[in-house]
Amino acid sequence: MTDRTPGQWPVDHPVHLDPAPARDKQPLPARPLTTVGIPEVRLVITVDLTGPYDNSREVTSDLHEQTRHAVDCHTVVIRLGADALRAAPGLGSAIAGRFFLSARQVEIHVPAGTKWAYVAAEAQEYMRRYAADHAQMLAKTRTTG
């Protein structure tokens, strides 16, 4: 066994150091931080779902295949064709599920006309739900105190 008490540092011959006087603080030279002239770089991912599709499975499979190796990014641009919109009625949910954690902004480009405008609203609503659900799940897993 040992002669030390619990919590005692296990050094047999500690070295004693005399405290040295503090150095005089010299102010650092003031350099203004400027961002003028420095371009902002943002990662934008483009997903193209404008091909010919016959069913919902093909659309979601293509969405998954194009975003399989996607990383966190600033903006996702999703181009939807009429076939994809016709074949996949729950496309807003699929888009939200794919990007609610990895993108700050999602742009959905649809063919001209207001018929397909609901996809953007649907994706936005699902992104809110998924983000709130994720935050609630994280809050439950954190220890209190």
Q: Residue 36: its pLDDT value, please?
A: 74
Instruction: Give the angle subtended at the CA of 57 by the CAs of 65 and 129, to the nearest 5°.
Output: 80
| AA letter at 38 | I
Q: What is the pLDDT along the chain (145 residues), one digit of tens a residue?
A: 556 566 555 556 666 667 777 677 777 667 766 667 788 889 999 999 999 999 999 999 999 999 988 888 999 999 999 999 999 988 999 999 999 999 999 999 998 876 888 899 999 999 999 999 999 998 888 766 5
The confidence score (pLDDT) of residue 128 equals 94
Residue 97: the pLDDT is: 93
Tell whether the torsion through CA atoms of 131, 136, 137 and 143 is positive or negative.
Answer: positive
Q: How many CB atoms lie within 10 A of CB 97?
A: 16
What pLDDT is stored for residue 145 in this prediction? 56
Can you give the pLDDT at residue 63? 95
Q: What are the phi and psi torsion angles at 32 (to 5°)?
A: -70, 135
Give the model's pLDDT for residue 91.
93
